[in-house]
Amino acid sequence: MSTEETSRFVRLRVELVLEITDTGELTGAAMDQIGGDTTMPDDERAHAQASVRDDAAEALAYLVDPFDLVNGVPGVDLAQASWSSEKVDYDPDSAEWDFDDEDEDFDGIGWIGEDGDRPDGEGGAGRA
């Protein structure tokens, strides 16, 4: 594919850290979601329910849908999506959780290429 053919596609990266304040409420909402899915086969439903009961991160994964992030955005069609959730040890004061420093290829405005320029043609904010 040429650059012209692929330039209409954009990868949107989103990373969230969520605090689960009520596991029972989260699990219950996920169970309701799974129970209301009429397209899910019974064996898959049983597996999903067991996973949700055992792991709050799994419950969250059943409730969060990337389509919901872009649904209704004018001029955008979701081409592909994947997501996952996992339990993490979170310390907001740790440098490990400073999202701005996590990816050296991001300057807070856009992604920076190996040549120091962003793919949109703009300069890399003084990076070499």
Q: Give the model's pLDDT for residue 106.
A: 55
Q: Give the model's pLDDT for residue 30.
A: 97
Two structure tokens written together for 27: 């699990």
Distance CA 29, CA 128 (A): 48
Per-10-residue mean pLDDT, the chain, length 128:
68 89 97 95 96 94 89 93 88 78 53 53 42
Q: Give the model's pLDDT for residue 43.
A: 96
Q: Give the model's pLDDT for residue 75.
A: 94
Quote the Cα angle for 91-58-88, to 5°.
15
Q: Give the model's pLDDT for residue 127.
A: 36
Sign of the torsion formed by the C-alpha atoms of 50, 56, 58 and 64: positive
User: What is the per-residue burial (b if ≥16 Cβ within 10 Å, else e) of 62-78?
Assistant: beeeeeeeeeeeeeeee
Q: Give the model's pLDDT for residue 5.
A: 61
Q: What are the domain boundaries of the chain?
A: 3-87, 89-128
